[in-house]
Amino acid sequence: MTVARLTTQHFRNLSSTAIDFHPKLNFFVGDNGSGKSSLLEALFYLGHGKSFRTSKTDSLVCYEKNTFVVSVKNGQGSQLGLSRDINSGLTSIKIDGERYARLSELAKNIAIQIVTPESFKLFFGGPKERRRFTDLGMFHVKHNFSSQWRNFARVLKQRNACIRSNVDDTTLTYWTEQFCQHSLVVAEERRVYIEDLIVELKVWLAILLPAISENVTVQYLQGWPQKKALADVLNTNKERETSFGYSLYGAHKFDVKFLLKKQAIETQLSRGQQKLFLLALTFAQAKLIARVNRVKPILLIDDIGAELDTTSRTVLSSAIDFLNCQVIITAIEHNVLHPFVEHTCANEYKVFHVKHGEIIPTTLYPDAMKSE
Ligand SMILES: Nc1ncnc2c1ncn2[C@@H]1O[C@H](COP(=O)(O)OP(=O)(O)O)[C@@H](O)[C@H]1O
Ligand SMILES: [Mg+2]
């Protein structure tokens, strides 16, 4: 889907108004603290059931209010909505007027990916974010993956409980066998997905970072030593697992590493290049999501000017053109957006001004136009 209209009520500092989006490109420009990231956060919340910047849902509701509401209408007129009451802790979800209990129902309908100025630090900072990134793509691309993952997670929980409670050998052996089987299923699905992602990544690197694209390699680490059977690894590490109290190996420990000439990419690239690399990967994932034709990916880029010079923003603008998805971009200043609109007709994008939580449709460079 594309977001045609977003409505928010009491979400952070955003005023309770509706915003009509362009199906392709949307720019939100405003000073620090005006509400730009809050706007992206509202959309992200709808797609993920959580924020990208806090785990405390209560901090999302406007000060001195108790409930926030976020809803979107898509290009075909379908409506997704969510409200959260912080007093009762209840979240209510509605899709086309029908109530649903699980947030994942919303996620099935909307695929939102975000790149913020912090994203590349988180992504290259540790496996947790890389796992989150990959699993989001898998959720949208491989429709069996959610149930495969849920089954795996259930077994992992059981096995961890067994390790902690020192159960008899027969029970632990049973859960270890189950754990190995489910790990293999999940790891194989991921391996195939990551192979596809690598092919697509090369396409986007050739556009965004042509100087390095040829020398990038990707390593998929399945969560236990590559050439060993998981059962053997677990057997050898029985005592270590008992002292840690949880499963040290398995599909939950997977990682994806990116190398440039065999060295970790983050040690080789500048911050701006790392950001472009993550954008290339995000675009690659968006293409895989678009290809399965269930949901159309929507891409949010917060503070586009951060770390990116004019040349980088120019190549990024061609990449966005080529991506052909709905993109929502925030910026502190209008001039940062120049490369994105230079070759684009004014009716192919929308610009909004964000001020104290109010969002007003505007034109690019409104001050310059006033003085003409
Ligand atoms: N729960 C809340 N209720 C009301 N205002 C909030 C809440 N949380 C944050 N704010 C305020 O919202 C403003 C907008 O923040 P943000 O969206 O991060 O701005 P921007 O991305 O434009 O720099 C900030 O001034 C912040 O103090
Ligand atoms: Mg911000």
Under CATH, which architecture does the 122-285 domain have? Up-down Bundle (1.20)
Strand-pair partners of 358: 355
Half-sphere exposure at residue 345, Cβ-oriented, CA atoms within 13 angstroms: 2
In whole angstroms, how large is the CA radius of gyration of the chain? 22
Instruction: Please state the three-class secondary structure of 208-268 as a single string.
Output: HCCCCHHHEEEEEECCCCCCCCHHHHHHHCHHHHHHHCCCCCCHHHCEEEEEECCEEHHHC
What is the best residue among 8, 13, 60, 304 to mutate for testing ligand 1's pocket, by most ligand atoms within 8 Å of CB?
13
Distance 353 CA to ligand 2 centre (A): 14
> Which ligand is the nearest neighbour of the Cα of 14?
1
Taking the centre of ligand 1 as the mean of its atom positions, its distance from the CA of residue 16, in whole angstroms, is: 14
- Whole-number Å distance, alpha carbon 12 to ligand 2 midpoint, is 12
Which segments of the chain belong to CATH 3.40.50.300? 1-110+295-372
- Cα–Cα distance, 229 to 279 (Å, whole number): 35
Express each pLDDT in 172-215 by its tens digit.
999 999 999 999 999 999 999 999 999 999 999 999 999 999 99
Cα of 57 to ligand 1 centre, how many Å? 14
Query: Which residues have C-beta atoms less than 6 Å from ligand 1?
Result: 12-13, 30, 32-38, 59, 61-63
Atom 26 of ligand 1, residue of closest alpha carbon: 33
Residue corresponding to tokens 């949901």: 295
Q: How far is the CA of 12 from the centre of ligand 1 (A)?
A: 6
How far is residue 300's CA from residue 43's CA, in Å, rounded to a whole number? 9
Q: What is the DSSP letter of 292?
A: T
pLDDT in tens, 15-45: 888 999 999 999 999 999 999 999 999 999 9
**Residue 340 to residue 170: CA distance in whole angstroms:** 63
Residue 352: closest CA among 339, 342, 372, 337: 337
Please, which pLDDT band fits residue 347 given cuts at 50, 70 and 90?
confident
From the CB of residue 35, how many other CB atoms can be counted at a distance below 10 Å? 25
Q: What is the pTM of this model?
A: 0.94
Q: From 3.30.160.60, 3.40.50.300, 3.40.50.1980, 3.90.1150.10, which CATH number describes the 1-110+295-372 domain?
A: 3.40.50.300
Asked whether the predicted pLDDT for residue 324 surpasses 90, the reply is no
Of all protein residues, the one whose alpha carbon is nearest to atom 17 of ligand 1 is 35
In angstroms, the CA 259 to CA 225 distance is 19
Count CB-CB contacts under 10 A for residue 101: 9
pLDDT (0 to 100) of residue 160: 97
**272-323, pLDDT tens digit by residue?**
999 999 999 999 999 999 999 888 899 999 999 999 999 999 999 999 999 9
96 CB-contact burial (10 Å; exposed 0-12 / middle 13-18 / buried 19+):
exposed
DSSP 8-state assignment for residue 294: S
With CA atoms as reference, report the closest residue to 71 among 43, 91, 52, 92.
43
8 A C-beta contact, residue 308 and residue 275: yes
The answer to whether residue 222 scores a pLDDT higher than 60 is yes
Alpha carbon nearest to ligand 1 atom 18, residue = 37
Which residues neighbour ligand 2 (ion) by CB within 5 Å?
A: 37
Give the pLDDT of residue 372.
44
As annotated, the residues of the chain forming the CATH 1.20.1050.90 domain(s) are 122-285
Handedness of CA 332, 334, 337, 339 (dihedral sign): negative
Residue 338: both structure tokens together: 């120049």
**CA–CA distance, 334 with 353 (Å, rounded to integer):** 10
pLDDT of amino acid 370: 52
